[in-house]
Amino acid sequence: MPFIPHTEEDVCAMLDSIGASSIDALFDEIPEALRIAELSNVPAACTEMEISRLMSERADRDHQGRCFLGAGAYEHHIPAAIWEITTRGEFYSAYTPYQAEASQGTLQLIYEYQSMMTQLMAMEVSNASLYDGASGLAEAILMAVRANRKSKSRRILIPKTINPVYRQVSKAIVRNQGINLEEVDFDTTAGSITTATLPEHPGDITAVVIPMPNFFGVIEDVDALTDWAHEHGALVIAAVNPTAMALLTPPGKWGSENDQQGADIVCGEGQPLGIPMASGGPYFGFMCCKQQYVRQMPGRIVGRTVDMEGKPGFALTLQAREQHIRRSKATSNICTNQGLMVTAATIYMALLGGQGLQRVAAASHRHTRQLHERLIAIDGVSAVFNRPFFHEAVIRFDAATVEDVLSGLAEHNILGGYNLKHSYPDLGEALLVCATETRTEADLDDYIQALQDVLCDTTE
Amino acid sequence: MSDIPANLKYTQTHEWIEQRDDGSIRIGITDHAQNLLGDMVYIELPEVGDTLEAGDECAVVESVKAASDVYSPITGEVVAVNENLADNPDLVNKDAYNDGWLFALNPSQPEELEDLLSAEAYELKAAEDEH
C-alpha cells in the first residue's frame, strides 16, 4: 500500500461524513484571538547551504572564551568515548522506541541509568528521565500534591535560593492547578534558608523544596530543613546538582541522626553528567523518589523481569497511569524521555565511576575555592556570603558595575560569570562565578589579571 | 455471566453498595468490573475521615491493564477502609463482594440510596456492555 496522505477528495469525503464545512471549521471552538494568524517572526525557508552556514555561525559563538559561568549549566570535561559510543547506530535515537520491549538494549541502558541514579541519590526509585531540571521541579511539585494525601492545602514552600528559572517554569506549569507556591526568603549573611527564615506558624504545607547546593552555590542546611518539613507533615522535594552528590550527603540520607527519613522526591538537571552546554539544550531532568510514592511518579520506568522461559529481560513497568491509558487523568504527559541525553549520562557515569565523579566534584570545589579566595583578595571585590559553597560563589564589586566588569572580561576572552542583579537586586553589584575541573591554574591567573585590569579601567 | 447479588445496590459506574445494620454502607467494585479490568496490582483508597460527595473520585483500582477511578455512590464520611488490600489487591478479583470491599461510608444523605440501581437493572447494564 503506498503511503499517500489524504487527497483533496478524501478530505471532502471526511468533512462531509462528519458534517463540517471546512477544516477551519473544526477549530471554531478556539477563540479567534488565541489563534496564530501568521508566523511573522519565522523567516522564509532556507536552503540546506544557508541553514548549515547559519547553524555553524551560531555554534561558533558557543566556544568563545574560557567559561567561569555556571548558574544551572556547567562546563565539565566530556571524554571523547562518551559521544562516540552514544552516537553509535544502536543507540542513536532521542526517543524510547515504540514497541519498547523489542529494543532490549535501550531498555537495559535505561535500567542501568535508573540504578546509577538511585545509588547517587540514595533513593529507592528513579524514572527514565524528564525534559530538564526546571520542568523536573514542576513535575516534582505536581507529584508531591498527589503523593501527600494528608495535606489538603496544596501549598508548596519554594526558597528564593533556588534557580530563578526553575521558579519561573514551576510557576508557569502549576499556577492554573490551584497550587500555591510560597517563596521563602534567605538569610542574607549566610546565603541560605535557615529555620529562622521559614514561617513560624506554617499550618498545613504540602511540600518544601530544598536546593543543594543552592543557586548561589551555597550548601543549605539540608538536615535541619528536612526535619522541619517532616515535622510539619510536608514532603521534601530535593533539587540537587548530580555532580555535587558525589561529595555531599545524598538526599536519601538527609535529616538528623534520629530522623533520617531523607528527601521524598529528588529532581534536578542532568546536564553536568556528560552533556555539552550547547546554548542551553537539549539537556535532561532526573527524578527519584521513595518506593511508597512510585505510583505518583511521572514518566517511564524500566523494570527487570524474566520471560516465559525464565530468561532475564527488561520491560516498561507501571504504565497503567500513563496518558495512553489514563488520558486526562494520567500522572503526567511525559511518556517519552530524553533518551539520547540519558544514554550519554549513563556512559559518562559508567566511564568515570563513583570515584571519578568524586574527583570531578572535588576538583571543581577546589578550583572555585581558589578562585573565590583570590578574587576577594582584590581591592574593590568582596565576599557576599559566609556559608560554605560547592563549585559556585558570589562576589560583589564595591565601585564597578557587573555589566562593565563582564564586558571588560569578555574583551579578555573570559566569560566572567552570571550577573545576579536582575534576579536579586538587593545583593547589589553581585556576580556568581564558577570554576569546574576544566579551569586550570593558568585560567585562574588570567581571570585574576584580567579582572584587575578591568577594575583599574572602570574606576579610573 | 458475572455474579450480581440480589441484596446489593449498584451504580452505572460498576460500584456495589451494601447497606449494613449499623447504618453505614460498604462499597466495592462489581464482579463484572473486576473481570473487565483483570488482575489487580494496586488499590488506592480514601482516608478514614475524608468527606465525599456522591460522584467524587475517591479510589483508584489499578490492574495490569489500566488504572480506573472509583466514584463514591453516596455522600458521606469515610469510616473504614479495607487495609488488607494494600498487600492483597487480588482480593478484589477473588471475592469482589466480601473480602474485596474497598471502603465504608456513613451516609449523610440516605435518600441518595433510592437513586441507585437494583440488581436487575445492573444486570441489564452489564449485559449491554458485553454486546
> Could you read off the pLDDT of A412-434 as tens digits, one per residue?
999 999 999 999 999 999 999 99
pLDDT at A260: 67
- Give chain A's domain count: 2
Residues 9-68 of B with CB under 8 A from A: 41-42, 44, 47, 62-67
Contact A295 B42 (CB under 8 A): yes
Identify whether A27 is part of a domain.
Answer: no
- List all residues 6 or more positions away from A453 whose beta carbon is below 8 Å from its beta carbon: A408, A412
Q: Tell me how far apart the alpha carbons of residues B54 and A210 are, in angstroms, rounded to a whole number.
A: 39
Across the range A82-108, mean pLDDT stands at: 85
pLDDT at A38: 80
Looking at the fold, whether A383 and A334 belong to one and the same domain comes out as no
Q: pLDDT above 70 covers what percent of chain B?
A: 98
| Of the partner residues A149, A325, A329, the one whose CB lies closest to the CB of residue B69 | A329
Query: Residue A383 pairs with which residues in a beta bridge?
Result: A395
- Sequence ranges of the domains in chain B: 15-125
Checking if the pLDDT of A219 tops 70, the result is yes
Q: For residue A213, is the peptide bond before it cis, meaning its omega torsion is within 30 degrees of 0?
A: yes
**Contact (Cβ atoms closer than 8 angstroms) between residue A291 and residue A277:** no
Q: Tell me how far apart the alpha carbons of residues A163 and A135 are, in angstroms, rounded to a whole number.
A: 12
DSSP H or E run through B44? strand B40-44
Measured in angstroms, the CA of B6 and the nearest CA of chain A are apart by 32
Q: Which of A324, A347, A370 is the last residue of a domain?
A: A347
pLDDT at A396: 97
Q: Which of A309, A327, A347 is the last residue of a domain?
A: A347
Across the range A252-269, mean pLDDT stands at: 89
- Higher pLDDT, residue A389 or A320: A389
pLDDT at A343: 95
Identify whether A452 is part of a domain.
Answer: yes
If you average pLDDT over every residue of chain A, what do you get?
Answer: 92
Looking at the fold, whether A103 and A229 belong to one and the same domain comes out as yes
CB count within 10 Å of CB B119 equals 14
Across the range A220-231, mean pLDDT stands at: 95
Q: Which residue carries 556570603 as its cell?
A: A385
- List all residues 6 or more positions away from A220 whose beta carbon is below 8 Å from its beta carbon: A161, A192, A193, A210, A211, A212, A213, A214
Q: How confident is the model at residue A96 (pLDDT cuts 50, 70, 90)?
A: low
Residue A295: its chain B contacts at CB < 8 A?
Answer: 42, 44, 62
Looking at the fold, whether A341 and A359 belong to one and the same domain comes out as no
Looking at the fold, whether A338 and A366 belong to one and the same domain comes out as no
Looking at the fold, whether A122 and A254 belong to one and the same domain comes out as yes
pLDDT at A416: 96
Eight-class DSSP state of A149: T
Residue B39: its chain A contacts at CB < 8 A?
Answer: none
Across the range B88-111, mean pLDDT stands at: 95
Looking at the fold, whether A296 and A408 belong to one and the same domain comes out as no
Distances in Å between the Cα of A378 and the Cα atoms of A190, A195, A366, A410, A454 are 22, 34, 19, 19, 12
pLDDT at A459: 63
Checking if the pLDDT of A1 tops 60, the result is no
Q: Tell me how far apart the alpha carbons of residues A377 and A241 are, in angstroms, rounded to a whole number.
A: 28
Across the range A448-458, mean pLDDT stands at: 92
Q: Tell me how far apart the alpha carbons of residues A169 and A315 are, in angstroms, rounded to a whole number.
A: 32
Q: How confident is the model at residue A43 (pLDDT cuts 50, 70, 90)?
A: confident
Q: What fold, for B15-125? A: OB fold (Dihydrolipoamide Acetyltransferase, E2P) (2.40.50)
Eight-class DSSP state of A167: H
Measured in angstroms, the CA of B48 and the nearest CA of chain A are apart by 11
Contact A149 B47 (CB under 8 A): yes
Measured in angstroms, the CA of B54 and the nearest CA of chain A are apart by 19
Residue A226's CATH number: 3.40.640.10
pLDDT at A277: 92
A361 CB burial (10 A radius; 0-12, 13-18, 19+):
buried
Question: pLDDT tens digit string along A153-183?
Answer: 999 999 999 999 999 999 999 999 999 999 9
Q: Tell me how far apart the alpha carbons of residues A321 and B42 are, in angstroms, rounded to a whole number.
A: 11
Looking at the fold, whether A343 and A364 belong to one and the same domain comes out as no
Q: How confident is the model at residue B12 (pLDDT cuts 50, 70, 90)?
A: very high
Residue A320: its chain B contacts at CB < 8 A?
Answer: 41, 62-67
Q: pLDDT above 90 covers what percent of chain A?
A: 76
Size of interface A-B (CB pairs under 8 A): 21
Looking at the fold, whether A226 and A331 belong to one and the same domain comes out as yes
Looking at the fold, whether A300 and A275 belong to one and the same domain comes out as yes
Residue B65: its chain A contacts at CB < 8 A?
Answer: 320, 325
Looking at the fold, whether A200 and A318 belong to one and the same domain comes out as yes
User: In the sheet where A207-212 sits, what is the strand order?
Assistant: A125-126, A285-289, A265-269, A235-240, A207-212, A155-159, A180-184
Residue B48 Rama label (left phi>0; alpha psi -120 to 50; beta): beta
pLDDT at A358: 98
Identify whether A358 is part of a domain.
Answer: yes
pLDDT at A185: 96
Whether the CB of B124 is below 8 Å from some CB of chain A: the reply is: no
Instruction: Determine the residue of chain B that is closest to A326 in CA distance.
Output: B67
CA nearest to A339, candidates A95, A165, A153, A118: A95
| Of the partner residues A149, A150, A325, the one whose CB lies closest to the CB of residue B67 | A325
Query: Residue A418 pairs with which residues in a beta bridge?
Result: A432
Distances in Å between the Cα of B80 and the Cα atoms of B46, B50, B103, B105 are 9, 10, 6, 7
Give the cell for residue A114: 535508573
**Contact (Cβ atoms closer than 8 angstroms) between residue A432 and residue A217:** yes
> In degrees rounded to 5, what are phi and psi of residue A274?
90, 10
| Of the partner residues B42, B44, B66, the one whose CB lies closest to the CB of residue A325 | B66
pLDDT at A103: 87
pLDDT at A344: 97
Contact B66 A320 (CB under 8 A): yes
Q: Which of A90-99, A361-370, B40-49, B120-129 has the highest mean pLDDT?
A: A361-370
- Higher pLDDT, residue A274 or A300: A274
Residue B41: its chain A contacts at CB < 8 A?
Answer: 320
CA nearest to B70, candidates A54, B81, A64: B81
- The pTM assigned to this predicted structure is 0.89
Checking if the pLDDT of A2 tops 70, the result is no
Looking at the fold, whether A262 and A361 belong to one and the same domain comes out as no
Question: pLDDT tens digit string along B48-93?
Answer: 999 999 999 999 999 988 889 999 999 999 999 999 999 999 999 9
Disruptive mutation site among A146, A148, A149, A317 for chain B (greatest number of B CBs within 10 Å): A149
CB count within 10 Å of CB A411 equals 12
Contact B64 A325 (CB under 8 A): no
Whether the CB of B69 is below 8 Å from some CB of chain A: the reply is: yes
Contact B47 A325 (CB under 8 A): no
Contact B47 A326 (CB under 8 A): no
**ipTM tops 0.90:** no
pLDDT at A300: 87
Give the cell for residue A158: 519554594
Residue B42: its chain A contacts at CB < 8 A?
Answer: 295
Residue-number span of the structural domain to which A441 is assigned: 354-459
Compute the CA torsion angle B86, B46, A266, A125 (nearest 10 deg): 20
CA nearest to A448, candidates A404, A425, A416, A419: A416
DSSP A43-112: PPP--HHHHHHHHHHHHHHTT-SEE---TT-------HHHHHHHTSTTT--SSPPSSGGG-HHHHHHHHH
Across the range A437-460, mean pLDDT stands at: 92
Q: Out of A95-104, A105-114, A398-407, which region has the weakest mean confidence (pLDDT)?
A: A95-104
**Contact (Cβ atoms closer than 8 angstroms) between residue B58 and residue B71:** yes
Q: How confident is the model at residue A34 (pLDDT cuts 50, 70, 90)?
A: confident
| DSSP three-state, residue A204 | coil
Contact B67 A149 (CB under 8 A): no
pLDDT at A119: 98
Q: Tell me how far apart the alpha carbons of residues B12 and A389 are, in angstroms, rounded to a whole number.
A: 60
Contact A320 B44 (CB under 8 A): no
Looking at the fold, whether A339 and A394 belong to one and the same domain comes out as no
